Amino acid sequence: MRISGSGLLVATAVIHLDLYLTGYRTIPTIGWLFLLQIISGFALSAAVIASDSRLVSTAGAGFLMATLVGFLLSLRIGLFGFREVRTTAGLAAALIEIVGFVALAAFALRPYGQELPSESMAQERHPMIGLRGAMRVGRWLAGVLAVQAGLSLAVLWAITGTVSTNAGASNVILKFADVHGVSVLTNARGYTLYWFAPDSPSKSVCYGTCAAYWPPVVGKPAAAPNVVGKFGTFRRSGGALQITYNNHPLYTYVGDSSPGQANGNRINLNGGVWYEMRMSS
């Protein structure tokens, strides 16, 4: 159990390292948290291997559960302005964290090898009696926590929606709004729109997981009176009609939890850099 738990600590650290290097390092606050998670994961793995201490294994189990809770929060309500979406890497890391928690908790809460105290010692309330009772309660609580974590992951994974790219004929109202002192193109609800550096004027390279983080703006453009610039559309793979502005396909960002935010600006994620769409950019 101890060796398995150590290996799973390394596994989740490696997944976070890959995500960190492929773009998460540019996300404010989240990037630093990922770096901390990576360092802590490797350090705890080494500590678990080097020591058979129950306390060290408990720390490793708590770390894995805390990492999982952070992922579930970012998946459901967002964390530090960042909203996670369903990805294969995210699911793999979450499952590893649950199994790793179980392995390390089982090692930390394993039964003591000593024989039970004699009847006379038990009558004197020998400390080992209380400790073993606490260990039994701890094993029960750890099991409940692991089951609850698995159920929460399953429910959140099922209810977290995927972006819709169905072709639509409805008009999409676009306007300019002041976001952190800059005139930025937004949708009718005031959410900042973005463009992706690797795109071409008539082709998007953002599909799959990328389109889950950056939902394409689909429909027919209907610019507000204060908007200047050239609008257009093109057909995405699958038939959706995506809107362009000054030859840039437009997207929103799941990390913006309310109007007036631009958390996706200058983030290097999903294979390229994203920029807020400024007036006449």
What region does 271 belong to: left with phi over 0, alpha with psi -120 to 50, or beta? left
Question: Where is the domain boundary, 159, 180, 198?
Answer: 159
pTM of the model: 0.68
Tell whether the model's pLDDT for residue 34 goes beyond 90.
yes
Give the confidence band of 26 by pLDDT, cuts at 50, 70, 90: confident
Domain assignment present for 166: no
Q: Please tell me which residue, 115 or 149, carries the higher pLDDT value.
A: 149
In this structure, the answer to whether residues 7 and 134 fall within a common structural domain is yes
Identify how many contiguous H helices and E strands the chain contains and give both numbers: 7, 9
pLDDT digits over 132-146, tens only?
667 778 788 888 889
Q: Tell me the torsion sign for CA atoms 183, 79, 150, 92.
A: positive
In this structure, the answer to whether residues 241 and 144 fall within a common structural domain is no
> Pairing mode, if any, of strands 194-196 and 241-245?
unpaired
* Of 6, 116, 129, nearest in space to 63 by CA: 6
Task: Give 78-144 as a DSSP string.
Answer: -BTTB-----HHHHHHHHHHHHHHHHHHHHHTPPPSSPPPPHHHHHTT-HHHHHHHHHHHHHHHHHH
Amino acid, res. 92? A
Question: Where is the domain boundary, 138, 159, 180?
Answer: 159
Tell whether the model's pLDDT for residue 114 goes beyond 60.
no
- State which residues form the domain around 98: 2-159
- What's the rounded mean pLDDT across residues 75-86? 80
- Please report the pLDDT score of residue 127 as a whole number: 56
For a pLDDT cut of 90, what percent of the chain falls above it?
Answer: 41
Please report where in the chains the tokens 């071409």 appear, as a residue: 200
In this structure, the answer to whether residues 146 and 100 fall within a common structural domain is yes
In this structure, the answer to whether residues 109 and 196 fall within a common structural domain is no
In this structure, the answer to whether residues 99 and 130 fall within a common structural domain is yes
In this structure, the answer to whether residues 118 and 143 fall within a common structural domain is yes
- Please report the pLDDT score of residue 226 as a whole number: 75
- Please report the pLDDT score of residue 161 as a whole number: 53
* Count of structural domains within the chain: 2
> Pairing mode, if any, of strands 267-268 and 273-276?
antiparallel
In this structure, the answer to whether residues 191 and 151 fall within a common structural domain is no
* Of 193, 163, 159, nearest in space to 176 by CA: 193
In this structure, the answer to whether residues 116 and 204 fall within a common structural domain is no
In this structure, the answer to whether residues 149 and 53 fall within a common structural domain is yes
Tell whether the model's pLDDT for residue 110 goes beyond 70.
yes
Domain assignment present for 281: no
**Structure-token pair, residue 222:** 């209907």
Amino acid, res. 246? N
In this structure, the answer to whether residues 195 and 245 fall within a common structural domain is yes
Name 172's bridge partners.
221
Tell whether the model's pLDDT for residue 50 goes beyond 50.
yes
- Please report the pLDDT score of residue 169 as a whole number: 47
- What's the rounded mean pLDDT across residues 104-130? 64
Please measure the distance between the N-terminal and C-terminal CA atoms of the chain and give it in whole angstroms: 56
pLDDT digits over 156-213, tens only?
878 765 444 334 446 788 898 888 888 999 998 889 999 999 999 889 999 988 888 8
- Please report the pLDDT score of residue 101 as a whole number: 94
- Report the alpha-carbon angle 174-82-27, nearest 5: 100
In this structure, the answer to whether residues 133 and 217 fall within a common structural domain is no
Helix orientation angle between 88-108 and 2-21, rounded to the nearest 10 degrees = 150
- What's the rounded mean pLDDT across residues 88-116? 84
pLDDT digits over 227-263, tens only?
888 899 999 988 889 999 999 999 999 878 788 888 8
Question: Where is the domain boundary, 131, 159, 187?
Answer: 159
Give dist(CA 35, CA 5) in Å, integer.
Answer: 20
Domain assignment present for 261: yes
